[in-house]
Amino acid sequence: MEVQYALEGTAPFRESLKDQIFHVMTIHNELTVHYLMTEEWSEEHGIESMADIAEKKPPMEIAVNTEANLQSTIAMYEHIFNEYGFSMDDVEDWGGSVLRGNSGIGMDALADGRADVFINGRFMPDSRLEEIHNNRPLKWIDIDRDKMSAAAEGWDYDLYIAPAGISPFIEKDSATQKMWNALQAGPHVSEETVYKFLTAISKNVDRVQSIHSSLRNFGPEMMVWNPMNLPLHPGAERFYREKGLID
């Protein structure tokens, strides 16, 4: 969604960057938003779902990403909160507090009792969250599938139904969203640089896939996928055309 804001010139961008951002490749579509709460907090306040939070307005210590990370704030929780009629300001008015930081900081807070609720992107399943769950039991916050779909579609992300048992704290099929990660370049990057980069990557797809399970689907079809419909960088256009991936 940072790309959309950049194209529009929406704050924090000072002006539109239209015609200044070009698609090079998409890397994966596997970043999965985790909506978690501690079992202790859930039982104390009778919370099973986001609807319960909206209705009961419980005090909470919530760990989310930094405000500068637009994808991890606006897309991961602000739009979901909006679907249920409340905001982070409301959370603070209910007596809660917000801990902002990357997912590692949020998980540390979950582990040592400084956070009741965690909303951030991780891959699924996640060994660190499972480790935390073994010592401080976690529960998934149930979110209505239609509301999740509406929030995800607003930014061209995918509704994802996490299957029961994929993680120990997911006891039933649960709605969330998957987010893609892509590489873009500006017009100052030469055609030859991008072309050579993509050529080298394409010759080592197996090595890329071996880096992490989230990259298991990496390959030419993933690379050429252009979720924001950005103009292709000239080097990328040349590469994908030679490979027969575009007309």
Q: What CA–CA distance (Å, rounded) separates 101 from 105? A: 6
Banded pLDDT at 72 (limits 50, 70, 90): confident
Per-residue pLDDT of 213-247, as tens digits, reads 999 999 999 999 999 999 999 999 999 999 999 99
Contacts of 219 (CB under 8 A, 6+ apart): 205, 209
Query: Of 117, 92, 94, which is closest to residue 106 (Cα–Cα)?
Result: 117
Would you say 62 and 116 are in contact if contact means Cβ atoms under 8 Å apart?
Answer: yes
- The dihedral sign for the CA sequence 97, 101, 107, 111: negative
Q: What CA–CA distance (Å, rounded) separates 78 from 92? A: 14
Q: Is the pLDDT of residue 10 over 90?
A: no
- Rg of the chain (C-alpha set): 20
221 is written with which tokens? 């079809």
Per-residue pLDDT of 202-214, as tens digits, reads 999 999 999 999 9
All structural domains of the chain? 2-24+183-242 (3.40.190.10), 29-179 (3.40.190.10)
Q: How much is the pLDDT for 68?
A: 79
Would you say 245 and 220 are in contact if contact means Cβ atoms under 8 Å apart?
Answer: yes
- Please state the pTM of the whole predicted model: 0.91
For the chain, where are the E strands, in sequence order? 22-38, 61-64, 97-100, 117-122, 138-140, 158-162, 174-185
150 versus 174: the higher-pLDDT residue is 174
